[in-house]
């Protein structure tokens, strides 16, 4: 209900909207409207009120609710059901709970802060309050479970394209799930699936983007491999616009996927912006570590590598962890 009030107030722009109009539009009492308005004020909204004119929105807080990104969103279904939290342990954990209970395809779970954010292989993901985008998208594609690994590449392509759309053009993709700027990680993607033998129950794709994190927010260890858009651009980035751009970019890539199981547009962008191709890399598979040269990304989203003995191997997303020979991406 709060999101609906914000949307209506924003549609009026700098004009007053009467309590009676809000009451009729939303099907609740004027007393209920007054309570919601007060709650919004407590959350940081500057709303002017007049006994004769109604309510006027003067200023909004920097929060990633549907009401705040609505004007930037042009998707048909992705993010139209957006569940926002102030604080949560992990958006992926919550999204899996919501998916099991039942929700629409394209539901987004987002939080201003994560206390137990996780990356791949159980690594901790630092998620300071109000300084990043910490979200999970719930997907229910009617495709073979063997195609699910392609979703990670769709996430990476969508984040990179969104950054490009906001004028952040010096980013690359470290196959399959990291976005890199100046050889440091700025975004990571974690895809988890619930499936049966021949059908997918749901896929949860977690996306973390270090937007306005300051240098001092990173530990000494993370400073060597992680960065934020604010650090790289030397200015704060509009989180609302970036979130909307990620969702706007994701939906057409996802629709291409669910219509035929293939992702040519995604693959093209991942190839063009790969930081690994034609480099010597380390591949970590369980307790085994082997060297190879990254040659290409296949039409199915696999990383094609050449082994020291000249043999060619296709690596599926999730099978291995990829590193540069001398660091995170360096070779």
Instruction: At 41, list the tokens.
Output: 């004020």
State the angle between helix axes of 2-11 and 19-26 in degrees (0 to 180), rounded to the nearest 10: 130
Q: Is 282 within any annotated ligand binding site?
A: no
Q: Is 273 within any annotated ligand binding site?
A: no
Q: Is 91 within any annotated ligand binding site?
A: yes
59: helix, strand or coil: strand
Nearest C-alpha neighbor of 158 from the set 273, 272, 81, 251: 251
Please say whether the beta carbons of 157 and 266 come within 8 A: yes
Q: Mention every residue, 6+ apart, whose C-beta is less than 8 A from residue 106.
A: 75, 77, 78, 79, 80, 81, 137, 138, 139, 251
Instruction: At 325, list the tokens.
Output: 């020979």
Cα 25 to Cα 88: distance, rounded to the nearest angstrom:
32
Q: Is 234 within any annotated ligand binding site?
A: no
Phi, psi of 119 (to 5 degrees): -105, -165
Instruction: At 120, list the tokens.
Output: 């791949």
Nearest C-alpha neighbor of 205 from the set 276, 126, 102, 99: 99
Q: How many CA atoms lie within 13 A of 311 on its CB side?
A: 6
Question: Which residue, chain included where needed, has tokens 């004009």?
Answer: 15
Please say whether the beta carbons of 208 and 180 come within 8 A: no
Q: Is 165 within any annotated ligand binding site?
A: no
Give the CA radius of gyration of the chain.
Answer: 22
Binding site: residue ranges?
90-92, 114, 185
Which residues define the annotated binding site for biotin? 90-92, 114, 185
């Amino acid at each position: 209900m709060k999101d609906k009030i914000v949307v209506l107030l924003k549609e009026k722009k700098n004009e007053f909207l009467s309590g009676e109009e809000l009451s009729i539009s939303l099907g609740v009492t004027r007393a209920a409207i007054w309570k919601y308005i007060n709650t919004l004020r407590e959350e940081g909204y500057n709303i002017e009120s007049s006994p004769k004119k109604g309510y006027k929105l003067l200023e909004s807080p920097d929060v990633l609710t549907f009401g705040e990104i609505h004007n930037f969103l042009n998707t048909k279904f992705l993010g139209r059901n957006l569940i926002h939290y102030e604080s949560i342990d992990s958006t992926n954990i919550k999204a899996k709970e919501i998916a099991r209970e039942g929700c629409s395809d394209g539901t987004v779970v987002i939080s201003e802060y994560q206390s137990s954010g996780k990356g791949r292989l159980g690594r901790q993901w630092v998620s300071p309050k109000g300084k990043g985008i910490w979200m999970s998208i719930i997907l229910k594609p009617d495709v073979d479970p063997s195609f699910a690994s392609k979703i990670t590449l769709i996430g990476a392509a969508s984040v990179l394209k969104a950054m490009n759309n906001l004028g952040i053009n010096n980013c690359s993709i470290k196959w399959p799930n990291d976005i890199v700027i100046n050889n440091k990680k700025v975004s990571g993607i974690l895809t988890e699936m619930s499936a049966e033998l021949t059908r997918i129950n749901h896929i949860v794709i977690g996306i973390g983007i270090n937007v306005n994190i300051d240098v001092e927010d990173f530990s000494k260890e993370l400073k060597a491999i992680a960065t934020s858009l604010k650090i790289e651009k030397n200015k704060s980035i509009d989180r609302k616009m970036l979130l909307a751009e990620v969702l706007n970019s994701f939906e057409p890539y996802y629709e291409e996927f669910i219509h035929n199981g293939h992702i040519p547009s995604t693959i093209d962008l991942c190839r063009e912006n790969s930081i690994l191709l034609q480099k010597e890399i380390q591949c970590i598979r369980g307790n085994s570590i082997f060297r190879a040269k990254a040659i290409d990304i296949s039409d199915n989203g696999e990383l094609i590598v050449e082994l020291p003995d000249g043999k060619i191997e296709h690596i599926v997303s999730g099978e291995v962890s990829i590193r540069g020979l001398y660091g995170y991406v360096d070779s």
